[in-house]
Amino acid sequence: MEQEIKIRISVRNLVEFILRSGDIDSRRGGFAEKEAMQAGSRIHRKIQGRMGSNYRAEVPLSIEIPGHGYTLIVEGRADGIFTEESTKEADHCGEGSYTVIDEIKGVYRDVTLMQEPALLHLAQAKCYAYIHGKQEAFLQIGVQMTYCNLESEEIKRFRQDFSVEELEVWFLDVAGRYQKWAELQKEWRKVRQESLKKLVFPFPWREGQKEVASSVYRTMLRKKTLFIQAPTGTGKTISTIFPAVKAVGEGLAERIFYATAKTVTRTVAEDTYAILREQGMRLKSITLTAKEKICFLGKPECNPDACPYAKGHFDRVNDAVFDLISGCEVFDRSVLETYAQKWQVCPFEFGLDVSLWADAVICDYNYIFDPRAKLKRFFGEGVKGEYLFLIDEAHNLVERAREMFSAALYKEDFLALKKVIAPHSHKMSRALNRCNTWLLEQKRECEEIKIRSDIGTFPIYLMNLCGIMEDFLEDSRDTSLNERTLELYFQVRRFLDTCDLLNENYVIYTELCEDGRFQIRLYCVDVSENLQKCLDKGKSTIYFSATFLPIQYYKSLLSENPDAYAIYAHSVFSTDRRRIMIGTDTSSRYTSRSVQEYRKMAEYILALIEVKRGNYMAFFSSYRMMEEVAAQFEALTEEKGDPVCLLCQKTGMNETEREDFLKQFEQPHERGLAGFCVMGGIFGEGIDLRGDCLIGAVIVGTGLPQVCREREILKQFYDRRGQDGFFYAYLCPGMNKVLQSAGRVIRTEEDRGVILLLDERFQSSRYRSMFPAEWENFDYCTLRSVRGKAEHFWKRQV
Q: Give residue-wise pLDDT tens across range 571-611.
A: 888 889 999 999 999 999 989 999 999 999 999 999 999 99
φ, ψ of residue 356 in degrees (nearest 5)? -60, -25
Predicted confidence at residue 745, as pLDDT, reads 93
Predicted confidence at residue 40, as pLDDT, reads 56
**Over 90: is that where the pLDDT of 673 sits?**
yes
Is there a contact between 195 and 291 (Cβ–Cβ < 8 Å)? no
CA distance 170 to 716: 59
Mean pLDDT for the stretch of residues 543-554: 93
Which CA distances in Å does 677 have to 596, 624, 630, 698?
Answer: 21, 11, 10, 10
**Over 50: is that where the pLDDT of 241 sits?**
yes
Residues 6+ apart with CB under 8 A from 253: 220, 244, 247, 386, 387, 388, 538, 539, 540
- Beta strand residue intervals within 516-657, DSSP E: 518-524, 540-545, 565-568, 578-583, 615-620, 645-648
DSSP-derived 3-state class of residue 399: helix
- Beta strand residue intervals within 316-365, DSSP E: 330-331, 360-364
Is there a contact between 675 and 683 (Cβ–Cβ < 8 Å)? yes
Is there a contact between 725 and 550 (Cβ–Cβ < 8 Å)? no
Element housing 100 (H / E) = strand 97-107
Mean pLDDT for the stretch of residues 12-24: 94
Predicted confidence at residue 84, as pLDDT, reads 84
Element housing 318 (H / E) = helix 313-327
Predicted confidence at residue 254, as pLDDT, reads 95
Residue 384 Ramachandran class (φ > 0 left, ψ -120 to 50 alpha, else beta): beta
Element housing 107 (H / E) = strand 97-107
Return the bridge partners of 76, or none.
Answer: 61
**Over 80: is that where the pLDDT of 87 sits?**
no
DSSP-derived 3-state class of residue 372: coil
CA distance 136 to 99: 10
* C-alpha gyration radius of the chain: 30
Element housing 349 (H / E) = helix 347-354
Residue 294 Ramachandran class (φ > 0 left, ψ -120 to 50 alpha, else beta): alpha
Name the residue with higher pLDDT: 108 or 308: 308
Give the single-character DSSP code of 199. Answer: -
Percent of the chain with pLDDT over 90: 82
Buried b or exposed e, range 413-452, using 16+ CB within 10 angstroms: bbeebbeebeeebeebbebbbbbbebbeebbeebeebeeb
**Over 90: is that where the pLDDT of 478 sits?**
no
N- to C-terminal Cα distance for the chain? 65
Q: In this structure, which amino acid lies at residue 401?
A: A
**Over 50: is that where the pLDDT of 94 sits?**
no
Give the single-character DSSP code of 105. Answer: E
Cα-based angle 388, 390, 395 (whole degrees, multiple of 5)? 145
**Over 70: is that where the pLDDT of 633 sits?**
yes
φ, ψ of residue 389 in degrees (nearest 5)? -105, 125
| Confidence class for position 97, pLDDT limits 50, 70, 90 | confident
Predicted confidence at residue 32, as pLDDT, reads 40
Mean pLDDT for the stretch of residues 186-207: 95
**Over 80: is that where the pLDDT of 339 sits?**
yes
The model's pLDDT over 118-132, given as tens digits with 9 standing for 90+, comes to 999 999 999 999 999
Predicted confidence at residue 96, as pLDDT, reads 59
Residues 6+ apart with CB under 8 A from 327: none
Is there a contact between 121 and 105 (Cβ–Cβ < 8 Å)? yes
DSSP for 43-87, written as a single string: HHHHHHHHS-TTEEEEEEEEEEEE-SSEEEEEEEEEEEEEEEEPP
Question: Which of 98-102, 475-479, 506-510, 764-768 comes out lowest in average pLDDT?
Answer: 475-479
- Specify the pTM: 0.92
Element housing 756 (H / E) = strand 753-758
**Over 50: is that where the pLDDT of 30 sits?**
no
Could you tell me which of 746, 740, 756, 741 has the C-alpha nearest to residue 790? 756
